[in-house]
A and B are shown apart, each in its own frame.
Chain A
Amino acid sequence: MKIMNNFKKYKKGTITMEIQSLIPEKFINLLWKNGVVVKNIKKVNITTIILEVRLSDYGGISKVAKRTNTKVKIIGRSGVSFFLLKLKSRAALLLGVVLFISIIYYLSTFVWNIEINTENYISPYELRSQIKGFGIRPGLSKKDIDVYALENKITRNNDEIMWVKARIDGVKLKVDVVERQSPPIITSNQTPCNLIASKDGIVSRVFTTEGTAIVTSGQVIQKGDILVKGEQGKEGSVYPVHAEGEVIARTFYEGIKEVPLNKITKVKTGNSISNLYIKIANKKIYLKNSIIPYTNYDKIENSNKFVNKETYYEVEEKNISADSTKIIKEITSNILKNLDKNVKVIDKIENVKKEKDKYLIKVLVVAEENVASEGSITPKKTSTPEKGSAPE
């Protein structure tokens, strides 16, 4: 009885049973009259049929079977109820499943991986170590990670990052970074500075866009002089600026050359005489000797193993007078060769002086160029000690 009552709980279970009775139709009718729902009744032979009933009806069925003297054999069972029944006897298995699921769930509340997607210049490693520095590392609970705060921190610490998205995706922390495409820096240096002269010269024009010009046109400047001071404003309220401008000055390039008036050059006439001799113990034994008829000659010795040869070439001395214009051209071209392209040549002053036996040729190239170059604003007051204050 107890067992029957137990079965009433299990409504989802279906049992397949084989019934052996003399009149199986009677058994089916009785079941039907008792309100038992029967399914899939199949006849095997005259006395045997197979049918499916619900597990909860088992009690009623066994009563009917007893009354009709029917043999009932259960040949199959299916449904959730039997699964539950099985589970009851395997509590450890159930526990394992529950434990497994709960462990998986528990572990999924942590971040196990940080994935970083960057663009061109920032390396993921760099960002990873930075994130580590913020105290966010794999193995941290998801609750402890405030992605918005992390985003803020990353953008604040990296100027080159324009936008960042940090999201927890499963057990991953995904960080996507968009880098800033910084515009080219037009004014690279805004630190205050002076403009100083890079060459000696005479100022012809001054243009300043920033700063206060000290020199005026016509003023003679030396290399290192301050041309434009890096400050602006009225007296008393002066503020430093990055001086900018052009100071066009006349610069001078000089070339001097001394050239003798006459230049003596030797010219071969084409005539030659050769002598042959054998040299034994510092004594020359001439094989062929002839008197040299030339007043001026070049003597060239050719020494072989035994026979030495002396060749005398006749030479004529010629007096060539120096050509001053040629030399002037040479000097100027030498000067211009060394000039910058943006230097404008204004004038060439040629000076040829005739001394006793030589020319003194001077060429002065007058050019116009920008001599302003940036120099530090720090005044060099104490760089040179005063002469009077150093008696020792």
Chain B
Amino acid sequence: MDNKFYKAKEVIASKLDLPRDILLDLPKITILANNEINVENHKGVVIFEEEQIKINSNVGPISIYGRNFKILFIGGNTITLSGNFKSVVYENHE
């Protein structure tokens, strides 16, 4: 049921050419060079370690590997990270 509703939303969004990220609550990830990432529509921080940060989202957890991590801002549904990134991984098992 939930899946159906989601799919219907997806269809409407594509047909009406509406922004999908808002309609479907998808994470919008903005990466600036290798030292700043801005994730909108996240679902909380799962892991915050020296060399890895895992952020939950609607499309599964997103892992960011690197060093010197710092969460510049967390509030509402936006999170901004800074540090020296190595890779960004979508850890979706589906």
Chain A interface residues toward B at CB < 8 A: 24-25, 28-29, 31-33, 35-43, 46, 49, 51
Contacts and interface: CB of A to CB of B under 8 A. Distances in A.
B70 A29 contact: no
A199 to B, nearest CB: 114
A43 B69 contact: yes
B79 to A, nearest CB: 8
Interface stretch (B19-27, B39-47, B57-65): B39-47
Nearest to B68: A42
B75 A40 contact: no
Contacts of B74: 28, 31-32, 37-39, 41
Interface residues of B, number: 15
A44 to B, nearest CB: 10
Given A28-B74, A31-B74, A38-B71, 7 more contacts: A28-B71, A32-B45, A36-B75, A38-B75, A39-B72, A43-B50, A43-B69
Contacts, number: 47
| Best-surrounded residue of B48, B69, B72, B73 (most CB of chain A within 10 A) | B48
Nearest to B71: A41
A94 to B, nearest CB: 34
Contacts of A36: 75
A140 B75 CA distance: 61
Contacts of A41: 48, 70-71, 74
B78 to A, nearest CB: 10
A33 B73 contact: no
Given A29-B44, A32-B44, A43 B75 contact: no
Contacts of A25: 45-48
A40 B70 CA distance: 6
A37 B74 CA distance: 6
A29 B46 CA distance: 8
Contacts of A32: 44-45, 74-75
A246 to B, nearest CB: 106
Contacts of A46: 49
Contacts of B75: 32, 35-38
9 contacts: A28-B48, A31-B74, A37-B73, A38-B71, A39-B71, A40-B70, A43-B49, A49-B48, A51-B71
Contacts of B44: 29, 32-33
